[in-house]
Amino acid sequence: MIFLDSNIPMYLIWAPHPKQTEAQILTDRLIAAGERLVTDTEVLQEILHRYTSINRRQFIRPGFVAVRGLVDEIFPVEEPDLWRAAEIVEKPSQFSARDAIHIAIMQRHSIQRILSFDADFDQWPGIERIHLV
């Protein structure tokens, strides 16, 4: 099982960008390999927030559709996840609140791999970030 971070679908639907090709290659490879991709509702909230904040609202629905088309399951953010995320950010670290929520959900579901361009995840013990070399 591999957790899909928000930056992957955002690069897939956004204007041409060097990471767009990499995101497409990675998702194509994982899907072809039969990997189970999952994410959480916070990823959808990130897409909603980002495209609203930069006034690119026309990308919200395509972002949601891209996520839904890529993943097998979207996990809800539950209260225990928020308590765990609070513990994560209380420690001196570079993790954002959103990343901490993703880590908490990954821990709850025993997910050890993440598809993301966010190198901060490399700092969390027990998480392997999938990326092109």
Classify residue 44 by its DSSP letter: H
pLDDT in tens, 32-63: 999 999 999 999 999 999 999 999 999 999 99
Half-sphere exposure of 29 (CA within 13 A, CB side): 11
Residues 111, 113, 117: CA angle, nearest 5 degrees:
135
Query: Which whole number is the average pLDDT over 82-108?
Result: 93
Q: Residue 114's pLDDT band (boundaries 50, 70, 90)?
A: very high
pLDDT of 11 over the 70 cut: yes
Which two three-digit tokens encode residue 87? 């513990």
Backbone torsions φ then ψ of 24, nearest 5 degrees: -65, -45
Structure tokens at 90: 């209380």
Mean pLDDT of the chain: 93
Report whether pLDDT(133) > 80.
Answer: no
CATH class of the domain at 2-130: alpha beta
Burial (CB < 10 A; 0-12, 13-18, 19+), residue 2, is buried
In this prediction, residue 91 carries a pLDDT of 82
Q: Which of 15-29, 69-83, 88-102, 118-132 has the highest mean pLDDT?
A: 69-83
pLDDT for the residue 131: 81
Q: pTM of the full predicted structure?
A: 0.93
Backbone angles phi, psi at 74, to 5 degrees: -115, 115
Q: How far is residue 128 from each of residues 18, 50, 64, 124, 125, measured CA to CA in Å?
A: 22, 25, 25, 9, 8
Contact in structure between 1 and 108 (CB atoms under 8 Å):
no
pLDDT at 107: 97
